[in-house]
A and B are shown apart, each in its own frame.
Chain A
Amino acid sequence: MAQENMAVKRKTVVKHKNKNNSLDKPNRNGIDIPFLVLTLIILVIGLIMMFSAGHVQAQSKYNDSYYFIKRQGIFALLGIIAMFIASRFPMSFYRKMAFPLLVVSVIMLILVIIPGIGIKANGSRRWLGIRNVITFQPSDIAKFAIILVFANIIAANYNKMKTFKYGMLPFGLVIIVCCGLILCQTHFSATLLICFVGLIMMIVGGTNLKILSLIGTIAAAGLVVMMLFRGYSSDRITTWLDPFADPSDDGYQIINSLYAIGSGGLTGLGLGQSRQKYLYLGEAQNDFVFSIVCEELGFIGAMLILCLFILLIWRGFIIAFRAPDKFSCMVVIGIISFIAVQTILNVAVVTSTIPVTGISLPFFSYGGTALTMLLFEIGVVLSVSRYSYMEG
């Protein structure tokens, strides 16, 4: 089916060249409705499940069952507004904003590691803003800035992408600077995500695969070495290999995640009926929300939700396929890849398919500003969809 779509795509691209020369002129079909609907469905389910998973923790920590959902709900509303605003801006605006935003991101990434300015929580200094009122992770902004910059470079130098100087060097520099700063926060998962998404954008953007695979091999080797030297991560690998070996500490989360998923069975215990959320699964509203989904909604519910994500990713790629220009296409690829990689990694972690890395599940995990940012990025994708061609 995708093959077929691509064939159609190629035709529309040709048509598009003749009919519509302006980037700024909206497509008469408006935004992509399936993508918007999928987003909203996932968002609503995500909010409900986050509430279900987190209310015990909220009651225990803040003495208010609704603590998480109230905040998440407000940020979701803000996000939806941001999404519609973002969808109204033309892509040329985002292209102009690319480098300034990167500069701002780098500054914020520097600020956040300065004690006194960066806000520390759970042992990591990753946030800026006002404690307990509004905080955000600069890495979320940086992530978006990197997507814009990468897309911009690819669009500008598309023909020279095979060379090392244009196809590798600028990307490498941006990644080294940003990821270096993010690593200073010991934010391993964000680093991993940015590297993954950067890599995907470079591949799609036409970087010489031979050079890329060489660099990739070196990076992977470096990654392994880093994991070995930093107990923080290598312990996680040991735990992943045998979570029951150390049930009291590192293995605790993953064991309880497995208990939750496993006791869900085929049909689940029913919405709100999770038992593992009763403080057994410490991060139930956060990284391990999917475990509670599995426990309450069962295998059927979990697979349905995964299918919704698959559909969203697929629809995102359709938008990328139909993008009016290379910049828009690359931005959509970047944003959708972020969602895809994050979803896959998160679900893989909670099912103990890969070691624990602390990656949240888009639309589901608690994190207000991250959700707003995500919805804003969805808005950017929708903006691109305005300019795409509808077949028929």
Chain B
Amino acid sequence: MAKGPTKKMLKRMFVILCVFMACFLPVSANLVRIQLVQHDFYQKKAISQQTRDKIVSPKRGTIYDRNKKPLAVSATVQTVYIQPNAVKDEQKELLIKEFTKVIDVEESFMEERIAKNNYYQIVKRQIEADMEAEVRAFIKEHKLYNCVALTEDTKRYYPYGNFASHVLGFTNIDGDGITGLEKQYNEYLTGTPGRIISAKDAKGNEMNFKYEKYEEAQDGNSLVLTIDEAIQYFTEKHLDNAVIESKVENRGCAIVMDVETGDILAMATKPDFDLNTPYEIKDPLLLAQLEEASEDEYKSLQSALRNDMWRNKAVVDTYEPGSPFKTFTCAMALDEGVATLNNSFYCNGYRQVADRVIHCWKTEGHGGEDFAHGLMNSCNPVMMDLSQRIGAESFMKYVEAFGFLDKTGIDLPGEANSIFHSLKTMGPVQLAVSSFGQTIKVTPIQLITAYTSVANDGKLVQPKIVKEIIDSDGNTVKSFDTKVIRQTISKDTANSLCSILERVVTEGTGKNAYIKGYRIGGKTGTSEKIDDKNEEGEIDKRIASFIGLAPADDPKIAVLVLLDEPNVENKNGSVVAAPVVAQIMNDVLPYLGIEQQFSEEEQKTMDVVVPNLVGYTLTKAQTELRKAGISAKVEGGESGKVTAQIPKGGTKMPKDATMVLYTNDAKPEDSVVVPDLTGMSYSQAKRELSRKGLYIKFDGVFDETLESVLISQNPAKGTVVDAGTIVTVNFRYNTNDG
């Protein structure tokens, strides 16, 4: 028998060898698949695992006002992150118990982050300098370099807090615009992020070999707005006061617009919110609603209220314009030639249209009136007559021309569409009520834009809020020129209307909008919220508005103030909204350098500086006063030297008031107590004050033929003042309008 391997053994060995060789086949096939076929797939996966892709956030562009005053800026802040897989067991306690206090986060939150066991977990975003210093000190003190670090981030700041909050809007924590211009121009503002790609090992440390790529971040572009910081400030101040004073329940808004360029100089909605803390609800009315909510509703109500709070009322909400729309009905009539300024009308207090009786706001009727008085009186029957003459077809043609059927195209997010009757649904009744601005709905921005065409020789311009976009080096990327959309009415028609609108303020329903020295035109509005009835089914809610143009002879700006649901006794636009426009104009017109022009009547009541006459002989003093045009009476004898005077030298007094000179021993009372003037007429107040040795000065138009009530005085009653002090008083005319 063979000692070596037998034939059978050799055969079996050969088979085994073949099996071994064969076993390498599937393995090699797998190598082909993984290394050659799926190479790209695995390489991509491997590289994404092996590299750290650090995003370098670009700096978001600044939002400037028209004079390059920054309104929204981005600053570099720090974000704190931990490296959970590098946290040593003995450091865990420290991080959870102590470090959480430094960065002000929950202990459980930190615990969760540490448990993640990867190399990058953000624990606190966007900390500012003081907290950054604390964090750095903590890291140094406890030697946490291995697991806690800071990285740069950018944060949005709004230096003026709630200033122009609805226009500017805000960003989320990732720097994306959520509302307002931040949203509208997010693409421009954002910029392009840069990247640093570097190799890291499984524990997140840098690998030995070089594997780095750097792409620089491209900072975002900046916006230069048409908004003027000062005008915005004036507008917000007066609107805010009005909303509080008139107990406005559904917010108010105001727009100031340059009628020639379409530049929005100011746009405000009140109450507003702080852009730095946009999620915080501060409005007491909203907070009260929130308090009543049950726990289940709380979250959804809170988010609904926030959304309401962020709504830019001037652009995204529609309302029934009411009387201000009458201007357009008049414009149509004049432009179509179906009426002239010489036409006369008769208002008996109502009109029968089809089967409906439609009343004038003045139920006893205005009687006979001409075209201008029809608008000045805001007379509904006149408008109905005019609209009938114009006809539905032309009426709608003009409605479209004035831009009421399209969005204005203002560069703000969420502009609403108007609601109008179509030509098909426009019956005689619809036409009649549309003529005075009821049953239709427009946005405030649509209304003011249409008005600017009246003010701007009939040229309708597109409203705009951004003047130009500039890059981080200040070069212009894009500029927005004035865009004239169309001629709505002829220049003559426009001019005629402007002068009628001025008369609305000087003689008609808009007296509360008058300011001394300026020619203001405007139209009041008080519209019923017909789809918002109270529990008894009555339409008791009103929208009070006033639209003003100034200077009326050559308008430069238009101002619209709208107060939604004022909750005071007299809800008329002439009473609650017109004074707000006057206050805004009173600040804005001098700011814009528009010169005051005074009428003769007004010049009489202007202040003069009183010369110091103490020590003069009486004759010399009287000569001086004659030169200055000041009248005086003398106490203490008609000879000798002047020993005292009221008012004192160097102070001001109304030019038509009388000065008092004291001679010899006669002495004026040193100080007097200001009396309560509330409810008095002008002449009553004047008499009362001069009895006390005080002078009167009034704001607004003075018309003794109208019923007016003194509503405020400065200094207040009971104040002790020097004799001769001027007490400024404010009257409000209790006028009504349509």
Binding site for B on A (CB under 8 A): 2-3, 6, 9-10, 13, 16-17, 56, 60, 158-159, 200, 203-206, 256, 258-266, 273, 275-276, 278-280, 294, 298-299, 302-303, 306, 310, 313-314, 317, 320-321, 323-326, 329, 333, 337, 340, 344, 347-348, 351-353
Residue-by-residue, is B535-548 near A (CB-CB < 8 Å gives 1, otherwise 0)? 00000000000000
User: What are 23 residue pairs bridging A and B, where the CB atoms are less than 8 Å apart in the complex?
Assistant: A10-B7, A17-B2, A17-B3, A158-B6, A205-B9, A206-B12, A258-B42, A260-B46, A262-B35, A266-B35, A275-B207, A276-B46, A280-B49, A299-B32, A314-B21, A321-B13, A323-B5, A326-B6, A329-B13, A340-B20, A347-B27, A352-B30, A353-B27
- Nearest-CB distance from B409 to chain A (Å)? 51
Q: How many residues of B contact A (CB 8 A)?
A: 46
Any A CB within 8 A of the CB of B173: no
Could you tell me the distance between the alpha carbons of A356 and B16 in the complex, rounded to whole angstroms? 24
A348 lies within 8 A of B27 (CB): yes
Residue-by-residue, is B7-27 near A (CB-CB < 8 Å gives 1, otherwise 0)? 111101110111011011011
Could you tell me the distance between the alpha carbons of A28 and B202 in the complex, rounded to whole angstroms? 56
Of A158, A280, A347, A353, which one neighbours B50 at CB under 8 angstroms?
A: A280
Any A CB within 8 A of the CB of B115: no
- Nearest-CB distance from A366 to chain B (Å)? 19
Could you tell me the distance between the alpha carbons of A298 and B35 in the complex, rounded to whole angstroms? 7
Could you tell me the distance between the alpha carbons of A114 and B89 in the complex, rounded to whole angstroms? 32
* A-side contacts of B21, CB under 8 Å: 310, 313-314
Could you tell me the distance between the alpha carbons of A298 and B36 in the complex, rounded to whole angstroms? 9
Given A273-B209, A347-B27: A279 in contact with B201 (beta carbons within 8 A) = yes
* B-side contacts of A278, CB under 8 Å: 50, 199-202, 207
* B-side contacts of A3, CB under 8 Å: 14
CB-CB contacts below 8 Å: B378-430 with A? none
Of A261, A275, A294, A344, which one neighbours B23 at CB under 8 angstroms?
A: A344
- Nearest-CB distance from A296 to chain B (Å)? 12
Binding site for A on B (CB under 8 A): 1-10, 12-14, 16-18, 20-21, 23-24, 26-28, 30-32, 34-36, 38-39, 41-43, 45-47, 49-50, 199-203, 207, 209
A279 lies within 8 A of B203 (CB): yes
Of B27, B34, B49, which one neighbours A306 at CB under 8 angstroms?
A: B27
* B-side contacts of A266, CB under 8 Å: 35-36, 39
A265 lies within 8 A of B17 (CB): no
Could you tell me the distance between the alpha carbons of A3 and B18 in the complex, rounded to whole angstroms? 11
B4 lies within 8 A of A329 (CB): yes
- Nearest-CB distance from B527 to chain A (Å)? 65
Could you tell me the distance between the alpha carbons of A299 and B207 in the complex, rounded to whole angstroms? 24
Could you tell me the distance between the alpha carbons of A15 and B310 in the complex, rounded to whole angstroms? 104
B42 lies within 8 A of A262 (CB): yes
A263 lies within 8 A of B46 (CB): yes
B36 lies within 8 A of A204 (CB): no
* A-side contacts of B47, CB under 8 Å: 263
B35 lies within 8 A of A13 (CB): no
- Nearest-CB distance from B27 to chain A (Å)? 5
* B-side contacts of A9, CB under 8 Å: 10
B202 lies within 8 A of A280 (CB): yes
- Nearest-CB distance from B53 to chain A (Å)? 15
Could you tell me the distance between the alpha carbons of A276 and B49 in the complex, rounded to whole angstroms? 9
* A-side contacts of B200, CB under 8 Å: 278
A56 lies within 8 A of B201 (CB): yes
* B-side contacts of A13, CB under 8 Å: 2, 4-5
Residue of B nearest to A257 (CB): B34
Could you tell me the distance between the alpha carbons of A10 and B13 in the complex, rounded to whole angstroms? 13
Could you tell me the distance between the alpha carbons of A346 and B207 in the complex, rounded to whole angstroms? 28
B46 lies within 8 A of A262 (CB): yes
- Nearest-CB distance from A338 to chain B (Å)? 12
Could you tell me the distance between the alpha carbons of A206 and B1 in the complex, rounded to whole angstroms? 15
* A-side contacts of B30, CB under 8 Å: 348, 351-353
Could you tell me the distance between the alpha carbons of A347 and B35 in the complex, rounded to whole angstroms? 14
B24 lies within 8 A of A333 (CB): no
Could you tell me the distance between the alpha carbons of A276 and B36 in the complex, rounded to whole angstroms? 18
Could you tell me the distance between the alpha carbons of A24 and B209 in the complex, rounded to whole angstroms? 57
* A-side contacts of B42, CB under 8 Å: 258-259, 261-263
- Nearest-CB distance from B582 to chain A (Å)? 70
Could you tell me the distance between the alpha carbons of A337 and B47 in the complex, rounded to whole angstroms? 38
Residue of A nearest to B203 (CB): A279
Of all A-B residue pairs in the complex, the 4 with the closest CB atoms, nearest first, are A262-B42, A278-B201, A279-B202, A259-B46
* A-side contacts of B23, CB under 8 Å: 340, 344, 348
Given A203-B12, A278-B50: A306 in contact with B3 (beta carbons within 8 A) = no
- Nearest-CB distance from B18 to chain A (Å)? 8
Of A60, A294, A313, A321, which one neighbours B35 at CB under 8 angstroms?
A: A294
Could you tell me the distance between the alpha carbons of A69 and B236 in the complex, rounded to whole angstroms? 78
Could you tell me the distance between the alpha carbons of A265 and B4 in the complex, rounded to whole angstroms? 47
Could you tell me the distance between the alpha carbons of A158 and B2 in the complex, rounded to whole angstroms? 11
Residue of B nearest to A262 (CB): B42
Given A259-B45, A276-B46: A2 in contact with B17 (beta carbons within 8 A) = yes
Could you tell me the distance between the alpha carbons of A324 and B32 in the complex, rounded to whole angstroms? 41
* B-side contacts of A321, CB under 8 Å: 5, 10, 13
A303 lies within 8 A of B4 (CB): no
* B-side contacts of A314, CB under 8 Å: 17, 21
Residue of A nearest to B38 (CB): A262
A326 lies within 8 A of B35 (CB): no
Given A329-B9, A344-B23: A275 in contact with B39 (beta carbons within 8 A) = no
* A-side contacts of B201, CB under 8 Å: 56, 278-280
* A-side contacts of B202, CB under 8 Å: 278-280
- Nearest-CB distance from A197 to chain B (Å)? 11
Could you tell me the distance between the alpha carbons of A58 and B409 in the complex, rounded to whole angstroms? 68
Given A158-B6, A325-B3: A344 in contact with B31 (beta carbons within 8 A) = no
* B-side contacts of A306, CB under 8 Å: 24, 27-28
B4 lies within 8 A of A261 (CB): no
Could you tell me the distance between the alpha carbons of A357 and B258 in the complex, rounded to whole angstroms? 81
B43 lies within 8 A of A262 (CB): yes
Could you tell me the distance between the alpha carbons of A244 and B530 in the complex, rounded to whole angstroms? 64
Could you tell me the distance between the alpha carbons of A279 and B86 in the complex, rounded to whole angstroms? 14
Of B7, B9, B14, B34, which one neighbours A262 at CB under 8 angstroms?
A: B34
